[in-house]
Structure 1
Amino acid sequence: MQIMSVFDTTFAPYGRVIADLDCTELLDTLRKTTDKPEDAVVYVPSAEQLEALPVFDTLRDSVYGGMPIQIGYCNGSNTKLNCVEYHRDSEINIVADDMVFLVGLESDITDGKLDTASIRAFRAPAGTAVELYATTLHYAPCDAAKGAGFRVAVVLPRGTNTEKPDGTGALGEDKLLWARNKWLIAHPDTNEAKQGAFVGLEGENPDIAPLI
């Protein structure tokens, strides 16, 4: 696996960089008010201190076209893929520390199965706002340097990644539904698999530790 840049043309199938979004205050607040664990990853779907900032209105009205949104964060340290998830909409990641995305394409899934050889790695520098398209498979960010960790603000439609809705089971895809607006496929060697997530990642669990 080679780590490419989110500014490289090879990133185009997975997402884009939003170049004209001023995230300075958001990233300052993220750095000052949230912890970055050294040996774990924490995710908070909605953070009041981030949603109170003026950029919230820009993200809601311009980036999401007026749809209700939430701003949370994902902080910590990680080098492995472990799982992939997707939503029914784009996800905006606003990067406070250099980090690496591990991504794939929903179109490569067959009956809930995905060959991990299809996963690609892209580095995003601090200060970058990256849109991951709805059809892009992703999960927790990865460190861009050994032990460096990351802080990332995560923007999604309101309610995403909260409690799984009741009454699922009408469609075959429901076997992947792990939370609200969150379809998840796990590698067998993960805590998510032990917790009952659908196991469908085939092949090695990609680990970028040797590359950073």
Structure 2
Amino acid sequence: MKIQKVTDLAFRKYGQVLEGYDFTSLIKEMKHTPVPEDVIYVPSVEELEALDVMKDLQNKGYGGLPIQIGYCNGHNKKLNAVEYHRNSEINVAVTDLVLLIGHQQDIEPDHTYDTSKIEAFLVPAGTGIEVYATTLHYAPCHVNEGGFQCVVVLPKGTNTELTFPTEKTGEDSLMTAKNKWLIAHEDAKIEGAFNGLKGENITID
């Protein structure tokens, strides 16, 4: 698969590169977070949210809404699933990483999605990006053998455990956490997920 850059024109329909933020302290604090052989996601980390950049991300990034700052770290080379939220997600690449992304608008009426429509983009270390609400995404892929580290900023409560019942039909059947709709590939064997990804479980070499 061709790996494009987030600075390329092709990325503009999926998100934008952020300007005007100082992510220095955020990246420094992320050095204390683990990088397992698989993938770990933590929605909210007190040490990250205590940094001065929290206020900028909340006010400039989300118009003053309450937010959470967490991370997704590890080793990964596969698509495995796609998810979307009702809002943009801000990512800060602590290491070089590759995002596999697509359009929510390409999900079929039966909630399946053709993985051949996925595109790959390199996010260089130190880069902050906004990933639009209609952009399908999931765990990044690592570029270096040491794995990847990625800051994840979202409205407070996103990706936390559901505290209300959901229907088993329609779009509701995709909801696996608060503000998280997920479509998995059967090869990934994600427990409780709807296996609606059709085609190859894309792998980045």
What is the SS of the residue equivalent to 2:195?
coil
Deviation at 1:16, TM superposition (A): 0.5
In the aligned structure 2, how far is the partner of 1:191 from the partner of 1:25?
37
* Closer, same or farther: CA 20–64 of 1 in aligned 2, 3 Å: same
Deviation at 1:76, TM superposition (A): 0.5
Matched with 1:113 is 112
Matched with 1:23 is 23
Matched with 2:55 is 57
In the aligned structure 2, how far is the partner of 1:191 from the partner of 1:154?
24
Deviation at 1:139, TM superposition (A): 0.2
Deviation at 1:190, TM superposition (A): 1.0
The equivalences for 1:1-212 within 5 A come to: 1-31=1-31, 33-37=32-36, 39-110=37-108, 111-145=110-144, 147-169=145-167, 172-192=170-190, 195-209=191-205
TM-score, normalised via structure 1 length: 0.94
Percent identity, please: 54
Deviation at 1:21, TM superposition (A): 1.1
In the aligned structure 2, how far is the partner of 1:82 from the partner of 1:171?
22
The one-letter amino acid of 1:112's match is H
Instruction: Give the root-mean-square deviation of aligned CA atoms.
Output: 1.1
TM-score, normalised via structure 2 length: 0.97
The one-letter amino acid of 1:35's match is P
The one-letter amino acid of 2:103's match is L
Deviates more, 1:168-177 or 1:129-138: 168-177
Q: Give the 4+ runs in structure 1 shifted more than 6 A.
A: none
Aligned length: 204
- Stretches of structure 2 lacking an aligned partner (at least 5 in a row): none
In the aligned structure 1, how far is the partner of 2:92 from the partner of 2:143?
15
